[in-house]
Amino acid sequence: MTKKFGDFTAVNNVSFSIEAGKIYGILGPNGAGKTTMISLILGIEKPTSGRILVDGLDNIKHKSEVKQLIGFMTQETIVDSDLTAYENLEIGAKLYHISQGEAKAAIERALEESELTEFKDKPAGTFSGGMKRRLYLVKSMLHDPKVLILDEPTTGLDVHNRVGMWKHIRELNGNGVTIILTTQYLEEAEELCNEISVMDHGKIIASGTPSELKRMVSKGQVVEIITNKESAQKIMRVLQHEFKLSPMVKDDKIEAYLESNSVALFARILGRLIKEKLPLVSISMHLPTMDDVFIKLTGSSLRDSVGENKSDRDRIMLQRH
């Protein structure tokens, strides 16, 4: 599918399929097209070309049916601070057209799953950030969807609450829910996802399991050297000219991918740097991480952008709710 806004191509000839019951991650720098893709899947935006099938249904021709198949949780936490947890879920049940008879059981189940039963009569404004995110997560699941889309679900959470959110996501997936996850936390994608696609400039530039993506970056390991800024350029030249590597330098840190014979090559590098009496704060070797994958594939860390990302989220939130 392709989506254009005037002369700007937000999603460029993208194709993928997600197996039922899997967790599918979408990674990419800010402005890569992830949020536009979500709005296309939800049927809020129509693709310029191509089509999307959800459980065999065209999401434009069968918009109402597809909406009942999908739950959606935005990066922003949408709960009413003045209402209690129970009242927030009650409104959610009405928005999802859940009958009054079924709503009570669905709400009680949601409160239990989010571990908020004892707080059900407390105003949501008194909740911690983690409690609000859990409330919002179960609110998006009240209608028992087959597919759950989570747009950066743990943004702003501390480590404890982030791990708690991972637990809830795994439990939902264990109950058969297919999950599409966008995230800026690379360890989150590695921890949760069965398959990951990396997007940049509107295109999917790589797909695979976390292990497959790591092997795509390097068959060997990564050497990481910490020195001082003055010596970093000298070490870079040693790695380039003597060891035929392509190191990346950032201030006092150098990284290079060792494609084969990693241990032997690492030992030679260490010996050469010691012989040159170049100052080393530390030198280590490790398997590629998802950070290495991301930086190598996109050429950058997660970048900031203005306009397209926020306007898409605003449009999703307004039209969904």
pLDDT single digits (tens) 115-125 = 999 999 999 99
| DSSP H or E run through 267 | helix 262-275
At residue 102, φ and ψ (nearest 5 deg) are: -85, -25
Q: 219-287 has which fold?
A: Alpha-Beta Plaits (3.30.70)
Query: Which range is least confidently modeled, 42-51, 159-168, 217-226?
Result: 217-226
Burial 225-243 (b: 16+ CB within 10 A, else e): bebeeebbeebbebbeeee
Q: Is the pLDDT of residue 306 over 50?
A: no
- DSSP 8-state class, residue 304: P
What is the location of CATH 3.30.70.980 in the chain?
Answer: 219-287
What are 249-304's pLDDT values in tens digits? 989 999 998 876 678 899 999 999 999 999 999 999 988 888 878 877 877 554 54
Q: pLDDT value at position 281? A: 94
- DSSP summary character for residue 303: P
Give per-residue pLDDT as tens, 121-148.
Answer: 999 999 999 999 999 999 999 999 999 9
Residue 56, class by beta-carbon neighbours within 10 Å (0-12 exposed, 13-18 middle, 19+ buried)?
exposed
CATH 3.40.50.300 domain extents, the chain: 3-211+305-320
Element (H, E) at 204: strand 203-208
Question: What angle is formed at CA 209 by the lines to CA 309 and CA 192, rounded to 5 degrees?
Answer: 65
Phi first, then psi: give them for residue 156, nearest 5 degrees.
85, -5
The answer for residues whose C-beta is within 8 angstroms of residue 103's C-beta and 6 or more apart is 90, 93, 94
The CATH class, in words, for 3-211+305-320 is alpha beta
